[in-house]
Structure 1
Amino acid sequence: MPVNQRLILDVTDNAILQLLQADGRMTTAELARAISMSASSTADRVRRLTDLGAIQGYRAVIDPAALGYTLTAFVRLRLTTPAGKQFFDLLDCTPQIMEAHHVTGEDCFLLKVIARSMPDLEDLTNRLATFGHVTTNLAFRSPVRDRAIPPSADGDDLVAETVARTSDRH
């Protein structure tokens, strides 16, 4: 789907997306009960949302600190040469780079990275510095993380009501 094209979703599609973001392990039967539809109709909707690219996958949310990654940093990178294959290869093969965003402003890229220690972070920023000027900001804490994407404007109030009713049941 082109970047500037928005899906037109009805209130049921929005409710499905909100519920699955809250609990990706929800069974089709549980989801069907929550939105008051049959399991087969619900499965068809989920399949369609997946085919359209609205649902891109399911994953477990892991606490980086539980795996020893106690530092989270935001690295701003101002490239001194155009981003080429080597730069994008580094982004792809470095698992500590959690997110990479091409941004406006003085910097070219904003990266969210995790590290086990300051020397680990220093090693990562040194590798990035071969491509340009690096500025690093450490996160003390993250009060908002992995927030669910809000429903589309095509029925926000009804979606919020459906999701709230379902949350009350759990």
Structure 2
Amino acid sequence: MDQIDIDMIRLLQLDGRISISELSKKLALSRPSVSERLKRLQEKGIIEGFFALVPPAAVGKKLLVMIELSELRVSLEEFERMIANEPDVIECHRATGHVHYYIKAALNGTDELTRLIENFIPFGSTRTSILLGSPIDRRVILPS
């Protein structure tokens, strides 16, 4: 990976809808070269895909929470099958240490939060925090 690839990755993370023509101009490369580099980055798994970022509040999900699940009472596989079907969960991370999973959910209100926590109780102990803000929501990731 050279500096042009790194610059392309940065530009695409800032604007995933940037056109090949605009990338071509910003990188000072021909459109075919940009297309080929983009294809290669995707084939190598460096770029996994492109998607729309939707702020949860924009679709009525005004309550953001982080739930810690510890003291797991079932297998990892069983828990992960269950959580894959929880539509309010927007992130789930398995971790080392005393907390097995960190779960981020976007909800309409406390009724949904109650339901979600009640669904988790058979799987382990929970601890919930309401997220008040995100000083760093997402950051461009580049190779070092």
Give the shorter-chain TM-score range: over 0.9
Partner of 2:21: 29
What's 1:73 paired with? Answer: 65
Percent identity of paired positions between Structure 1 and Structure 2: 29
1:140 aligns with 2:132: yes
Task: Return the alpha-carbon distance in structure 1 between the equivalents of residues 84 and 140 of structure 2.
Answer: 25
Per-residue deviation, 1:82? 2.4
Mark the runs of 5 or more structure 2 residues left unpaired by the alignment.
none
Structure 1: give runs of 5+ residues left out of the alignment. 1-8, 154-170
1:43-62 equivalent positions in 2, closer than 5 A? 43-62=35-54
Q: Does 1:83 align with 2:76?
A: yes
Note the C-alpha offset of 1:25. 0.7
Residues in 1 aligned to 2:23 and 2:87: alpha-carbon distance in whole angstroms: 33
**Aligned residues of 2:73 and 2:122 also touching (Cα < 8 A):** no
Aligned to 1:152: 143
What is the TM-score when the length of structure 2 is the normalising length? 0.95
Q: Which has the higher contact order (CA 8 A, sep 6+)?
A: 1
Q: Could you say what the CA RMSD is over the residues aligned between the two structures, in angstroms? A: 1.0
In structure 2, what is the Cα distance between the partners aligned to 1:53 and 1:33?
Answer: 25
Task: Determine if contact 2:68/2:127 at 8 Å carries over to the other structure.
Answer: yes
Equivalent-residue separation in structure 2 for 1:38 and 1:93 (angstroms): 44
Post-superposition offset of 1:19: 0.2
Equivalences, count: 143
Q: Amino acid of the residue matched to residue 59 of structure 1? A: F
